[in-house]
């Protein structure tokens, strides 16, 4: 998906709730540059996630799924990422998402409790994604596991 496609998707308001109510659109075939960008995003060795201002996952790459301990994208799309953040870090994480969606880039270290009970110390660097120059639409975060460093 090209950056422009991601940005246009991210900032939309809530649409119809059921598939039957959603308008059907035929997407044009991706260009060569869009295919290359998709390959780069999917092949990145670090977790890439896009969150809405509420902290719901809008998009994630394969490395993010591995980090979050899930196998399928639909296991995380539309879910609040803070549900995996340990309780004592959840408030800081929520404030971080709010700050980034408000326009401030930042970094946060926190712990995740992934399915199966594994605790992971992670670090996220995030920047706001904007649809227009003045409106922040979402949070783009790059996250990696720093558990070994912390030990």
DSSP 12: -
- Let me know if residue 53 belongs to a domain: yes
- Asked, for residue 17, whether it belongs to a domain, the answer is no
Domain that holds residue 106: 3-10+27-150
Q: How confident is the model at residue 95 (pLDDT cuts 50, 70, 90)?
A: very high
pLDDT at 15 over 70: no
Question: Do residues 55 and 82 touch, judged by C-beta distance below 8 A?
Answer: yes
Asked, for residue 37, whether it belongs to a domain, the answer is yes
- 15 domain residue, yes or no: no
The CATH number of residue 114's host domain is 3.30.450.20
Higher pLDDT, 47 or 151: 47
How many independent structural domains does the chain possess?
1
Q: How far is CA 33 from CA 4, 29, 60, in A?
A: 12, 11, 20
Question: Which pLDDT does position 122 carry in this prediction?
Answer: 97
Query: Which pLDDT belongs to residue 28?
Result: 81
Residue 21 is assigned to a structural domain of this protein: no
Condensed to tens digits (0 to 9), the pLDDT of residues 38-70 reads 888 888 889 999 999 999 999 999 999 999 999
pLDDT of the residue at 35: 79
Cα separation, 101 vs 8, whole angstroms: 16
This prediction has a pTM of 0.75
């Amino acid at each position: 998906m090209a950056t422009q496609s991601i940005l246009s998707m991210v900032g939309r308001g809530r649409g119809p709730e059921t598939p039957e109510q959603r308008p059907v659109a035929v997407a044009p075939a991706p260009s060569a540059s869009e295919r290359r960008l998709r390959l780069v995003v999917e092949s990145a060795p670090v977790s890439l996630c896009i969150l809405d201002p509420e902290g719901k996952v809008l998009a994630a790459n394969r490395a993010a799924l591995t980090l979050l301990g899930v196998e399928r994208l639909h296991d995380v799309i539309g879910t609040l990422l803070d549900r995996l953040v340990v309780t004592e870090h959840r408030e800081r994480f929520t404030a971080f998402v709010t700050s980034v969606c408000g326009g401030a880039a930042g970094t946060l270290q926190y712990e995740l409790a992934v399915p199966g009970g594994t605790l992971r110390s992670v670090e996220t660097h995030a920047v706001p994604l904007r649809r227009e120059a003045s409106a922040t639409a979402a949070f783009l975060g790059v996250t990696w596991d720093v558990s070994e460093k912390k030990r």
